[in-house]
Structure 1
């Protein structure tokens, strides 16, 4: 996962030039060059989570945004972009 500070204890936003603490995890992949099991992760602060998600979604990449403090499968996780949660 990218975006950790030099001390490896504090997750930082992956947006270029941003040094804010990350609150969000953005999992994505480029389906044109990566198999379904190859997922990359960016971290985002609250200010940049929408920007980074939209940047990836505009390229038709599968994207999932999850709160860093959320356990997998909890209500804090957001639905992947481009899906219709039911």
Structure 2
């Protein structure tokens, strides 16, 4: 994955969190999306495990990567 520079802070996807995201949780719902479709939630360090667990329990989580390594 190639790094890209971001000029604005990306906010964590956890409800009510305004923290700066540093992780990208790449996921898809196999019941709704084609196998190659990927969606992204972003996470701060504090909420990474919570969001990974939420997606993982449903079988949606594909990978977690540092946000600065996420391809556009």
TM-score normalized by the length of structure 2: 0.81
The structure number with the bigger radius of gyration is: 1
Q: List 4+ stretches of structure 1 deviating above 3 A.
A: none
Segments of 5+ residues of structure 2 without an aligned counterpart are: 1-6
RMSD: 1.7
**Relative CO higher for 1 or 2, CA cutoff 8 Å, sep ≥ 6?**
2
Unpaired segments ≥5 residues, structure 1: 1-7, 73-86
CA contact (8 A) 1:26 1:41 kept: yes
Indicate whether 1:38 and 2:51 are aligned: no
TM, length-normalised to structure 1: 0.68
Which residue is 1:57 aligned to? 56
The number of residue pairs the alignment matches comes to 65
